[in-house]
């Protein structure tokens, strides 16, 4: 990964996972489950779960993009229906309730499609009583991670 000043921190997502696993080594052998936010979080999480001898599963979350600037988002949805909105951003760009719901419905449909593709009928890994480590490959605003955390709290 190349950031700002041309400094390479990680060779790739697998390397990032190995480095993260080393930082989390105190959890090795404990009652831990690692949850990956696909797509980018999966290779990172695989390395962490393997090193920590932890369970591995997915928490499928997606940002809700701004209609005219899809690389930016104003919220996020999770696979259990959790929605986190940044109302301030939505208001600032003039989104109506109908536009918000329309954009969120597109994301929910994509999450449902991915849930069927990735998980099928497989039950979710149990998180009750375990330390949960949620992994993505990066955070911009953090809103997707907030949706993931809220979703996992409801499990």
List pLDDT tens digits, range 48-87.
999 999 999 999 999 999 998 888 999 999 999 999 999 9
What is the per-residue pLDDT for 1?
46
In angstroms, the first-to-last Cα distance of the chain is 33
pTM, to two decimals: 0.89
User: Per the structure, how many domains does the chain have?
Assistant: 1
What is the per-residue pLDDT for 6?
63
CA angle 107, 145, 46 (to 5 degrees): 100
Question: In which domain, by residue range, is 45 found?
Answer: 2-153
Of 16 and 122, which is predicted with more confidence? 16
Residue 152 reports pLDDT greater than 70 = yes
CATH number of the domain residue 81 falls in: 3.40.50.2020
What is the per-residue pLDDT for 3?
53
């Amino acid at each position: 990964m190349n950031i700002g000043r041309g400094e390479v921190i990680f060779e790739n997502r697998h390397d990032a996972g190995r480095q993260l696993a080393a930082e989390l080594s105190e959890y090795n052998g404990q009652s831990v489950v690692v949850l990956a936010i696909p797509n980018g979080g999966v290779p990172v999480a695989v390395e962490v779960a393997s090193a920590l001898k932890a369970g591995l599963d997915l928490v499928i979350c997606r940002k809700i993009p701004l209609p005219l600037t899809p690389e930016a988002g104003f919220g996020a949805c999770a696979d259990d229906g959790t929605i986190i909105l940044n109302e301030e951003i939505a208001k600032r760009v003039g989104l109506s309730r109908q536009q918000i719901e329309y954009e969120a419905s597109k994301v929910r449909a994509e999450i449902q499609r991915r849930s069927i593709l990735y998980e099928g009928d497989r039950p979710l890994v149990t998180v009750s009583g375990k330390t949960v480590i949620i992994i993505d490959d990066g955070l911009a605003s953090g809103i997707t991670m907030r949706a993931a955390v809220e979703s996992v709290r409801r499990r």
